[in-house]
Amino acid sequence: MAAAWAEAAVAATEVRRSCPRVGSIVLAACALPGVLPAMAGAEEAPTEGVIAFKYSHYQDGQTGAYSGNTASTAADRSYAASVRDASGDYATISAASGGGGGGGGGGSSTPSTERKRVKVSTPSMYALVPINRHWAAEGSLTVDAVSGASPQYYSDMRTAPSFSDRRKAGDTKLSYYGERQSYALGVAHSTESDFFSNALSAEARIASADQNTTWNLGLGLTQDRIDPTNHVVNNEHRRTSEFQAGVTQALSKVDLVQATFTLSRARGYMSDPYKYADNRPRERNADILQLRWNHWLGDSALRTGYRLYKDSYGILAHTFDAALAVPFGRSLTITPGLRYYTQNAADFYANPNLATYPAPVGSPSYFSADQRLSAFGAWALNTKVTVALAPGWTLDAKAEWYRQRSNWKLGGIGSPSINPLNATTWQVGLSYAF
């Protein structure tokens, strides 16, 4: 959450020097997310406060049954019965939030038509308050209303039950700014009907004497409790620790680059209790490399990025993204963007096998039919419009169209028998600087 707000508000000291005086919106477009908080250099706290409201809406859809499925109606009924026998009710899942949903429901019997899956509506608020020339506080509140249906077995939607849940989350951070350094401590809390999370974070940023280079270090600790409504497990726990190190460098008056490396180590319950027969290792290690390059073109800002993800589940993923912030006058900026994502399947992900549907083949130590662990590629096209209104007021709106296909995987055909997934996201925000 904080990173998303930072992307709209951040402009490091050297970026101000590099970009012409064309307004704060384009200045923010020149900056890299996460360089320094809230329009401030490392040597001073922000001089302006910010209050912002944002509302976003997400909806995805998928065809009813995985392609090539010739399972009989009797097999379908057997699968539905096996889910009920294992959990006492139809399993549910909140695919968007990674947790679960309360309440069971009936399934659908439309095997080939595309149907809506998960819908998420999210109002959120953010505030940044300068305390004095050395201190600043910020925080956010978010409420996710999640509803819809999600398959328990690959992308088969015929027995997918309905669910609904509400997630409430909040975080706060206190920052101190020295001569050429800043330090911050943060806490966060999130709760759902079956998922509870608490997190602590600490970060330090140190700038060079010429303000052209900024080093950053970060540490995060998260403690989760999983208590699913279907009672597959009870009161399970997961602990995640993350360490991040990065550097931001002004290469020239028009070029800014950033490299960040993150180590993530998770221990505890990793399985999805709402996926049929899902059993995953109780530890997951991930290494993440993020590279960014922003370039000022004279009248617009080009932002590019690459992300490499590798974990102990065997997943190797690549993300490429680019956006162009184009100003129209001093008050309007339009930013079209494009993103491509590709990953291979997890080691314990098994492709659908109709001969043993719906059980795993043999007796594997670990197994998952979660399509998020399959091999696939995805494209996302987005557009953001930002308008400076009366002094201090900024309005923005963004829409994104996401398309995921197995055969879009880079360098391969991807996992078979997984139906295309489509998603649409839109958001609108209003902020006031004082």
Strand-pairing partners, residue 36, are none
pLDDT at 89: 35
Q: By residue range, what is the domain housing residue 120?
A: 2-433
Please list, in sequence order, all residues whose beta carbon lies within 8 angstroms of the beta carbon of residue 210, skipping any fewer than 6 positions away: none
Residue 333: closest CA among 376, 291, 307, 301: 301
Give the 3-state secondary structure percentages of the chain, helix then strand then coil, rounded to 5. 10, 50, 40
Provide φ and ψ at 418, rounded to 5°: -110, 120
Number of domains in the chain: 1
Handedness of CA 302, 291, 265, 271 (dihedral sign): positive
pLDDT at 64: 59
Distance of alpha carbon 97 from the chain centroid: 9
CATH of the domain at 212: 2.40.160.40
pLDDT at 184: 96
CA distance 93 to 78: 20
pLDDT at 326: 96
For the chain, the first-to-last Cα distance in angstroms comes to 21
pLDDT at 110: 42
pLDDT at 390: 87
Low-confidence ranges of the chain (pLDDT < 50): 1-42, 67-111
pLDDT at 360: 79
